[in-house]
Amino acid sequence: MTEQSSGSATEQATEQETAKQETGRKNEQPEERTVTDGRYLYCLINTTTAESETGSEQESKAGSEQESKAGSEQESEQATVDWSTTGVDDNTVYVIEGESVGAVVHDCERIYDTESPEQVKQWVLRHQHVVDAASDVFGTPLPMRFNTILEGGDTSVTQWLHENHDTVREELTSFAGTWEYRIHLFWEPSTFEAQIEDEDDQLQELQQRQEEAGSGKSFLLKKQYDKRLRERKQNRRAELTTTLQETVRPVVRELLKQGSGSQLAEDTTPTKKEQVTRLAVLADEENETVLGDRLDEIVEQDGVSIKFTGPWPPYTFAPDLG
């Protein structure tokens, strides 16, 4: 079957489980690395596409930084995007604007580093949560890598946006209306093994000779049998991978084969099934239904199932601008 889901519910469950694992567990922490008036960057956005309802009010920025902003003609002419959410380490997230593009950030005083894999996973998932929330308001964003930090306060971020405006604007325009989808192809090898054992003449011959041979000869024939079966399974996995790629390629903009590791919520392997391949594709939002229908054609084969997740911001395809 083809299963499609978004990441929010599983993300919350994953974070809750991670929190449980952290309870009562004390890890040796590396020496904390501090930053001066840092801004942690989640993603870059097109501020002209913000929806009218933008969620909770942005907290005002007090003190000397506000005074320095007041003296900047460029910044004083910009509108304020009234949107915020909660980010890594429960920090308040807000938007810094710069000539129709913006950066989703929070104030920070340190680099996020720890010896705890569970803590890192929790931070990364919270980072993902913020990017997802921003995409609901501003459309397809350009995600930044986890732990991307600029020093120098809002002014340095505004300056960076100004210096890179054309590149950022061009990339945001090219990704507008597109989303990333993850496609996991699984199978149950036992189903294929039962089928191929009845169809492959060489396997049948080896099986018969093994039953008639003595213990020593039978052992060697068993090794030949297992080798032949592995070859047939490898060939079948390759066929399934090729079929999947050829099936989805006509309705996606980009396609990348991925490894087994992923920080994205929902990227998990069902129990009792073996992953054949995992793809990330970039597709127009209007092609989501067509893409799902094409995947349904593949799962009609015995022992094959697909997990189809998204839409996600283009984590895999966005350029590295950090």
Place of tokens 């989501």: 288
From 134, 158, 176, give the residue that closes a domain. 176
pTM, 2 dp: 0.75
Q: How many domains would you assign to the chain?
A: 2
The answer to whether residue 4 is domain-embedded is: no
Q: pLDDT over 90 for what percent of the chain? A: 53
Evaluate whether residue 217 is within a structural domain.
yes
Are 186 and 303 contained in the same domain?
yes
Does position 85 have pLDDT exceeding 50, yes or no?
A: yes
Domain assignment present for 241: yes
- Residue 10 inside a domain? The answer is no
Query: Which residue range(s) make up the domain with 107?
Result: 32-48+80-176
Identify the domain boundary among 119, 141, 176.
Answer: 176
Among 218-232, 272-286, 297-311, the range with the most confident prediction by mean pLDDT is 272-286
Classify residue 2: in a domain, yes or no: no
229 shares a domain with 119: no
- DSSP for 217-278, please give it: HHHHHHHHHHHHHHHHHHHHHHHHHHHHHHHHGGG-SEEEE--S---STT--PPTT-EEEEE
Q: What is the mean pLDDT of the chain?
A: 80
Residue 105 lies in a domain: yes
Residue 320 inside a domain? The answer is no
Contact 121, 263 (CB under 8 A): yes
Query: 86 and 109, same structural domain?
Result: yes
pLDDT of 182 above 80: yes
Weakest-pLDDT range from 21-30, 109-118, 165-174, 218-227:
21-30
pLDDT of residue 196: 81
Q: Is the domain of 208 the same as that of 250? A: yes
Specify if 7 maps to a domain.
no
